[in-house]
A and B are shown apart, each in its own frame.
Chain A
Amino acid sequence: MTATLNTPVTPVTDRTNRLTSTKKGGQMVADYWEDLFTARERGKQIVWYNGGALNPIFQAAGVAWCHGEAFAARLAAQGLEGPAQLAGAEHGYNAELCSYSRTHLGCAVLTVQGDEGINTGVVGAHDQAELASRLPAPDFFVNNYAGCSTGQQWDEISYRVFDKEVPIFNISHPFLWGNKPDSGYLKGEEWESASHYVRDQLLDLITWLEEKTGNPFDWDMLRESMTYIKKAAELRREGLELCKAKPAPATFWDWISAIAPINFLPGNQELVDYFQSVRDEIQDRVDKGISGVENEKYRVYFDGIMNWNKLGFLSRKFAEHGVAVLAGRYITNAFWQEPQLIDTEDPLLGMAQHYLLCPTNHGTKTLDYLTLRDCEEYDVDGIVFHSTRTCRAFTGPQRLLARSAQNNLGIPSIFFEGDVADASFYKEEILESRLAAMLEGIDVKRTQAS
């Protein structure tokens, strides 16, 4: 008799009620990538960049852009990260290395190998056709990584994988540590000096791009693009604010679906229309009392960079327990989240400030302020920390944040392991058992309170 290794699958009722308007964003993003894959054929120069959203500058410089983390995230979300990671491993990158960088460097290795890749014995021609051969090789690199020190080194290594033949520009970002008594979120001498330092580097980047492309920089295009992005960001903020309602009309997972558009799509009317539709759908749900999850019972804050392999799965898992995941550092405090800083006539300073506001570029003092503020405003019952295995930048402060939330607000929290772009680190049983335990604890607390 042959034993079966099949694990019984319990059917899970999908209790999510995802926004329909975000599907449009998915199509816009798909169109963007298709456009990028054919950019070379249309005579476009291509920049690979990492970190903050420099795309408005590239748009005004007339080059096509590929955001490294976004491409790695896209591969992971589509289950296509394997070949790139295998190529990276074969090249020598350790599995404990940031999986964004590992995936992206694997793509770089495949791109350099080109047609020779078929002879490596590891990555097949079909996989290359799906991945690297579709990702055009770069004409330039630009590093714009704030917070995580790995980002800068990752781009330098990309530069080396391409034999130092692709020009690279690096923007240095001061970490907003909070040295001085006057320092804090959006304030203090540290904030002001860092903002101007980065702004000055953006000016140098623009000069550098003019030299490398041979084209004059289109300042009007930058102003126009940032006008659209500012409007889209304002609509996004309004939508996020509306999600404080009870029951929550939309969840963290809807906003995760809306990250790509705000993070790297061109600034144009289509982007504004998209966020207008998202915001309007949420308003409509608030007006009608429609919930983002069926029978919302718990409200939870999610801290951690996204597990792109498990996006849909996690949204269903939390909904299954009646959990509305409402806010999170990765959406609430990232991606043009302070649009009032942008002066559309002279946008560089506000852009620089947003790059500095990367949620991994703060000391824990500021993160603590932001987390407690959001937990109170969204009136959450608990925090779920995605202990993102290969992302030291996001995970470093998490234990301190959990301790502070418990001590200051009496909010419990749990941790579960996973990763941004490597599914092997996800531990389903750990999340399930810890989530159930935390929800039980919340029930007990409610019973005692009543």
Chain B
Amino acid sequence: MSSGAAALEALRAVARDPRSHIEAWRSIHPDRKVLGVLPMNFPRELAHAAGVMAVIVPDDQEPVTEGRAFLPEFYCGYTRNLADQAATGRFDQYDALFVADHCIQLLGSADVVRALEPTRPVFLGQLISSMSDPWAGRKTTEMMVTLRTEVETFAGAAIDDDVLAASIRSFNRDRDLMRQIFDARTAGDTAFSPVELQDIVASAQIMDPDEHHDLLAQVVADRAPRTRDGRIRVHLSGHLCHAPRRELLEVIEEVGAVIVDDDLWTGRRYLQTGMDESLAPMDALAQWYGGRNTALPCPTRVQHDVDWDAWLLDAVRRSGAEAVVHLMPKFCEPHMLYYPELRSALDEAGVPQLLIETEHEGIPLESFRTRLEALIERTHRNRPAYA
């Protein structure tokens, strides 16, 4: 096995078994803490600078059992899985839980953690989500200061500004490298499969950024570009907060499509925005948060002059995507609310599209396959005859 293949295998292992990675990290750093954070906007740089391992808590593939007793079945699969992790002791890996986003379902799951683990700190530092307000910048800055203070209290150590700046550089470097791969895919390079890319991003959401970057650099060095072939070019949209099932990504390519871009949380949404290293670190954090919704609009934010649908159309034009597949986790209200906007914009632009609702507890893969095949056939008919 080449060093690049071994490095990719290491990233894949973290993405698919984060518990083992966290346990290994703890054994190396017995006196340091592990912080669980919920997606999508907590700045992990703060925790990193405090010497804390900050993990964006992923859903795991375990079926929801005990967790069913704590959240209703019409909560999204991710939040029910989080409740299940808390109810079955799988949350024990984390010394605390921090939340920066105001999603009522996320808060519901965080409350389950708080109720079942009363000695474990659960902190909500609610970042303003109304981005057009004149006071949005000020409130963001205030909350970043609050988050810093809370992280310091949790870590038992003050955060040095220079160390925070170094953490920002580390995360930026890792995001930059991932963005290069995603941009290359948009430009026509298919060197990485969608499952590999998901593993790369999912592992980044767990690992130390320097460790992740070093492994990823080996992967990139070992992988030659590969030119896109004539398969139908598809953009994947949606799936906030957690990863879609890998087998779903595989089926999309099996039916004759090639995924050329996405706005998934375990994809471009995570890595699209960097922090401005020329700014004072706390200013950089605030500006990063404010800029994320502009760089890639999110339906959990409201910002009058920023449109997810317009961004999606631009992305489709950039990548040459011929069809869009919406991956909507069942019961995700922000996505449900914005979906008609996306649908209308794509319809008007003549872009074929397909909505697939996903669930945590398994997916009807063969049903999805049939619908995807129909989408691909329909999109083929859109191609000019000479193609």
Evaluate contact between A398 and B115: CB separation under 8 angstroms.
Answer: no
* B117 in the interface (beta carbon within 8 A): no
Distance, CA A443 to CA B175, complexed state (A):
63
Enumerate chain B residues within 8 angstroms of A98, measured Cβ to Cβ: 333
Using A179-B123, A392-B333, A396-B71 as known contacts, say yes or no to A157 and B341 having CB atoms under 8 A apart: yes
* Interfacial chain B residues near A101, Cβ < 8 Å: 337
Question: Distance in Å from the Cβ of A167 to the closest Cβ of chain B?
Answer: 10
A392 near B105 (CB under 8 angstroms)? yes
A160–B310 alpha-carbon span in the complex (Å): 13
* In the complex, B214 has a CB within 8 A of chain A: no
Q: Which residues of B contact A392 (CB under 8 A)?
A: 72, 74-75, 104-105, 108, 331, 333
Chain B 346-373 interface 0/1 with A at a Cβ cutoff of 8 Å (1 = within) = 0000000000000000000000000000
Residues of chain A within 8 A (CB-CB) of B272 are none
B162 part of interface (Cβ distance < 8 Å): no
Fill in one digit per residue for B123-134: 1 if any A CB lies within 8 Å of its CB, else 0: 110101110111
Closest approach, in angstroms, between the C-beta of A155 and any C-beta of chain B? 8
Interface string of A148-175 (1 = CB under 8 A from B): 1110111111011000100010101011
Indicate the member of B104, B128, B340, B343 with the most A CB atoms within 10 Å. Answer: B104
Q: Are A96 and B74 in contact (CB under 8 A)?
A: yes
Q: From the candidates B71, B102, B139, B333, name the one contacting A97 in the complex (CB within 8 A).
A: B333
Chain B residues contacting A363 (CB-CB under 8 Å) are 107, 111, 114, 124
Which chain B positions have C-beta within 8 A of A150? 104, 333-334, 337
User: Chain A 171-186, CB within 8 Å of chain B: the 1/0 string?
Assistant: 0101101010000000
Is A299 interfacial (CB 8 A cutoff)? no
Tally inter-chain residue pairs, CB-CB below 8 A.
121
Contact B302 A96 (CB under 8 A): no
Shortest distance in angstroms between B225's beta carbon and chain A's nearest beta carbon?
Answer: 39
Given contacts A175-B102, A364-B115, A400-B111, contact A153 B139 (CB under 8 A): no
Q: How far is the CB of B149 from chain A (nearest CB, A)?
A: 11
B280: Cβ under 8 A from any A Cβ: no
Residues of chain B with a CB closer than 8 A to A257's CB: none
Verify if B137 is at the interface (C-beta below 8 Å from A): no
A168 to B302, CA, bound (A): 11
B130 and A149 form a contact (CB under 8 A): no
Identity of the chain B residue whose Cβ is nearest the Cβ of A156 in the assembled complex: B302
Which one of B105, B133, B333 lies within 8 Å of A172 (CB-CB)? B133
Across the interface, B70 reaches (CB within 8 A) one of A155, A177, A365, A400, namely: A400
Query: Taking CB as reference atom, which chain A residue is nearest B124?
Result: A177
Q: Which 7 A-B pairs have the closest CB atoms?
A: A396-B108, A92-B340, A156-B302, A177-B124, A364-B111, A94-B336, A97-B336
A-B contact pairs, 8 of them (CB 8 A): A93-B339, A164-B304, A179-B124, A179-B150, A201-B135, A392-B108, A395-B74, A403-B115
Q: Which residues of B contact A (CB under 8 A)?
A: 69-72, 74-75, 102-105, 107-108, 111-112, 114-115, 123-124, 126, 128-130, 132-135, 139, 150, 299-300, 302, 304, 328, 330-331, 333-334, 336-341, 343-344
